[in-house]
């Protein structure tokens, strides 16, 4: 059963949403269970709260990134717990799903991630160009047909494709170094970064693994051998333009204008989520986020090609990213994040903290998150469990689909009284 969320919003005023998680439980649509956590009973609300059958997400979201949640998830909470003009925050912004959805819904935005690629992928989508502007800028970028990377990329790219990528990389690096990078350059950088590798003709590379990470050179050689393939020429400028047209499809001029205004006021941070001094006390109405899981992502290995293209030292960034190897280390880190979230959250504000089941479903991180939020002063208003089918990517992350009786989206809800 799917809740008619629009009807729910119409029937209740904003101030009557204290019991919003007990949606229609009296008629059996939402299952409500009690779970004993940290010495108290917490309500679990189980339903199909956000699904592909709800309003389709904007194409503006379609930027590849590992382990990102669907835009319908933050939309659900943004619509219920905020009004236009409220401040929405994500301390682990990833590809920018929460931030972009908040902007599209007319909310103010703070986006943070210790990974500089995240901000590079998020910020440009608040200053949306038209395809004509992008084409004109691309036409101005000179291609050195003899350009070649300082590392061997022949297993990924045709020699002429590599020359175009290197020419674009040099152009963007020079523009940034001299302080001339503008919103068109930033947009082109974002799109090109996402077109570097993938498994269709829409990417610069020959067929490889999904476009949210880059395999090693040796792994790509094995893929090429197994598939009996070699890199063919890809027109990088045409692919950037094609992806641009897709990203901006369906957006009105009014939406672009509104996103620009929100982006101009937004705060984009590239700092440790435990140390966000740039955010004032008690200003955030809602945080919607999903933290890094236990020692899953190997940053330098996954992002080496994106970092190379953007002249980022992947190993240095990897040192800044918390890679908790044990549940104790992870809990200590998340506990410090909650201290900062409590500081910046308004009275009456909310935190929607999404976690998954890991290690084959043996560990439910929500059970560990509840006491962390309580310890800093939040009230736990319940755990939302969204029932849905999952993509193949779920298995990569050690998260089983609900054919095995488990759920990916487990969102712990906290409120600051």
Which residues 6+ apart lie within 8 Å of 222 measured at CB?
none
Residue numbers of the domain that contains 207: 131-247
CATH of the domain at 405: 3.40.50.150
Please, are residues 287 and 345 in contact by the beta-carbon 8 Å criterion? yes
Domain closes at, from 247, 282, 314: 247
Q: How far apart are CA 80 and CA 75, in angstroms?
A: 8
Determine the length of the chain. Answer: 417
Q: Alpha helices of 82-151 — where are they, by DSSP H?
A: 97-104, 116-122, 131-140
Per residue of the chain (417 residues), give pLDDT as tens.
344 444 443 333 333 434 555 554 444 477 888 888 878 888 888 888 776 445 678 999 998 877 678 899 999 999 999 999 999 999 999 999 999 999 999 999 999 999 999 999 999 999 999 999 999 999 999 999 999 999 999 999 999 999 999 999 999 999 999 999 999 999 999 999 999 999 999 999 999 987 667 899 999 999 999 999 999 999 999 999 999 999 999 999 999 999 999 999 999 999 999 999 999 999 999 999 999 876 666 777 788 999 999 999 988 888 888 878 888 999 999 999 999 999 999 999 999 999 866 655 677 888 899 999 999 999 999 999 887 654 433 333 333 334 443 446 889 999 999
- DSSP β-bridge partners for residue 35: 42
Q: How far apart are CA 179 and CA 173, in angstroms?
A: 10
Give the torsion through C-alpha atoms of 113, 119, 125, 128, to 10 deg: 150
Q: Alpha helices of 108-251 — where are they, by DSSP H?
A: 116-122, 131-140, 159-177, 183-194, 217-227, 236-248
Domain count, the chain: 2
Q: Which letter does DSSP use for residue 415 in this model?
A: E
Domain closes at, from 247, 274, 309: 247
CA angle in degrees (0–180, nearest 5) for 13-14-15: 95
Is the domain of 232 the same as that of 273? no
Is the domain of 216 the same as that of 236? yes
Half-sphere exposure of 131 (CA within 13 A, CB side): 14
């Amino acid at each position: 059963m799917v809740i008619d969320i629009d009807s729910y919003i119409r029937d209740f005023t904003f101030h009557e949403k204290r019991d919003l998680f007990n949606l229609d439980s009296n008629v059996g649509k939402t299952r409500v269970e009690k779970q004993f956590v940290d010495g108290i009973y917490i309500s679990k609300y189980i339903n199909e709260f956000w699904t592909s059958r709800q309003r389709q997400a904007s194409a503006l979201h379609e930027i590849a990134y590992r382990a990102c949640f669907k835009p319908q998830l933050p939309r659900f909470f943004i619509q219920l717990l905020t009004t236009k003009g409220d401040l929405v925050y994500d301390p682990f912004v990833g590809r920018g799903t929460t931030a972009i959805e908040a902007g599209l819904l007319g909310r103010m935005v703070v986006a943070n991630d210790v990974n500089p690629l995240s901000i590079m992928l998020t910020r440009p989508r608040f200053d949306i160009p038209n395809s004509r502007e992008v084409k004109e800028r691309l036409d101005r970028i000179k291609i050195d047909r003899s350009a070649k990377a300082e590392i061997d990329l022949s297993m990924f790219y045709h020699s002429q494709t590599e020359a175009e990528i290197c020419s674009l990389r040099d152009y963007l690096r020079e523009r940034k170094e001299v302080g001339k990078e503008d919103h068109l350059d930033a947009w082109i950088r974002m799109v090109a970064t996402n077109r570097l590798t993938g498994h269709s003709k829409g990417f610069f590379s020959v067929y490889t693994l999904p476009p949210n990470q880059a395999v090693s050179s040796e792994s790509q050689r094995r893929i090429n051998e197994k598939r009996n393939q070699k890199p063919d020429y890809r027109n990088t400028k045409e692919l950037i333009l094609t992806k641009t047209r897709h990203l901006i499809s369906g957006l009105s001029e009014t939406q672009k204008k509104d996103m620009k205004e929100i982006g101009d006021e937004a705060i984009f941070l590239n700092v440790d989520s435990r140390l966000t001094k740039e955010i004032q006390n008690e200003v955030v109405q809602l945080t919607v986020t999903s933290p890094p899981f236990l020692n899953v992502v190997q940053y330098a290995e996954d992002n080496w090609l994106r970092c190379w293209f953007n002249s980022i030292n992947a190993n240095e960034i990897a040192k800044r990213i918390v890679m908790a190897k044990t549940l104790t280390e992870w809990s200590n880190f998340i506990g410090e994040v909650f201290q900062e979230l409590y500081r910046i959250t308004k009275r009456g504000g909310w935190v929607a903290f999404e976690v998954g089941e890991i290690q084959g479903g043996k560990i439910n991180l929500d059970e560990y998150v509840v006491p962390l939020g309580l310890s800093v002063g939040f009230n736990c208003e319940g755990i939302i469990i969204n029932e849905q089918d999952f993509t193949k990517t779920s298995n990569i992350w050690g998260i089983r689909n609900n054919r095995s009786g488990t759920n990916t989206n487990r969102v712990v809800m906290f409120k600051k009284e």
